[in-house]
Amino acid sequence: MIRIENLAKYYGSVHAIDGLSLNVEPGVVYGFLGPNGAGKTTTMRILSGLARPDGGRAWIRDMEIGRPGIDIRPFIGVLPEEPVFYPWMTAREYLRDFVARLYGLDPSTARKRTDEYLSTVGLKEARNRRIAGFSRGMRQRLGLAQALIHNPPVLLLDEPVSALDPAGRKEVLEMIEGLRGKATILLSTHILADVERVCDVVGIIDRGRLIVQQQREELLRQYTSPIFEIELDDGARNWMEKARQFPVVVNVAYESPTIRVLVKDIHAAQKILLDSLAADDLLVRRFEVIHPSLEDVFLRLTHKGD
């Protein structure tokens, strides 16, 4: 549904995108991750037709973006990071009388979908209020409604929940989950827990290049190793020096009161570590296996963490 080949975008000497290639299969929720300045928003702008690349090509539903005679607008719904509206309009007027007309919806369909999506995004009670009085979170919800109103097969969502409170984030993420299989969603975000929750495939970019693209579960399996977190009453530093010598141990770190032990083999390490603690007659307050999260993978791949 979305295909990018060797995409490039330069701003002077800054390479915002530098040979980016990726594929998004139909019906998936694709988590598009990267640190600030990695090129996520620039990529979204090119895909939505708001910017032109300096090199490479991109397609949506096999229609090449930017090619003369090709209009991708009916097939995409776009939510920019900071959506902008006509503040004198009410939410209902904006969707029914402005956005719906842009997509050629007849008046009956426009009214029906406006009420449907305002209710879906939690703005039913505010439908007749002027947008000028909306909070940033309310504007974000309205932006999501305008992206959905013409039922596009592809959604480009740039930080769709960044301005929402926890309850609002939960509602919008549940709505995105409900769209799985009905639309193809490219979800750009820095909230890694949200990606871990709703995305099927994860693509991580850094400095305008794709580092990895994999199924979420496969990514977690391939790039993470189990960690033991241990808390002792006393003797932590002496025991850590001993633990570093075990062949099964990769690394040991200490942040009071927790010892973090990165290991190669979880089952072998569990017996070795417990036997060692018992042999040293140490009082263990906590002994827990921690499976690293997507955040750990992200930090490792972008070289932002140890």
All structural domains of the chain: 2-215 (3.40.50.300), 225-290 (3.30.70.100)
Q: What is the residue type of 61?
A: R
Query: Which class for 129: exposed (0-12), middle (13-18), buried (19 or more C-beta within 10 A)?
Result: middle
Provide the pLDDT for residue 258. Answer: 92
- Please give the sequence-ordered ranges of beta strands (E in DSSP) within the chain, or none if there are none: 2-11, 14-24, 29-33, 55-60, 63-64, 76-79, 154-158, 184-188, 201-206, 209-215, 227-232, 249-255, 258-263, 284-290
The candidate with the shortest Cα–Cα distance to 177, out of 198, 162, 154, is 198
Rounded to whole angstroms, the Cα distance separating 240 from 84 reads 55
Residues 6+ apart with CB under 8 A from 234: 282, 283
**Single pTM value for the model:** 0.79
Per-residue pLDDT of the chain (306 residues; tens, 9 = 90+): 999 999 999 999 889 999 999 999 999 999 998 888 889 999 999 999 999 999 999 999 999 998 899 999 999 999 998 889 999 999 999 999 999 999 999 999 999 999 999 998 889 999 999 999 998 889 989 999 999 999 999 999 998 887 788 888 888 888 888 888 889 999 998 778 888 889 999 999 988 999 989 998 888 777 766 789 999 988 888 899 999 999 999 889 988 889 999 888 888 999 999 999 999 999 999 999 887 677 777 777 776 544
Local structure of 257: helix, strand or coil? coil
pLDDT reported for residue 305? 47
Give the pLDDT score at 292.
65
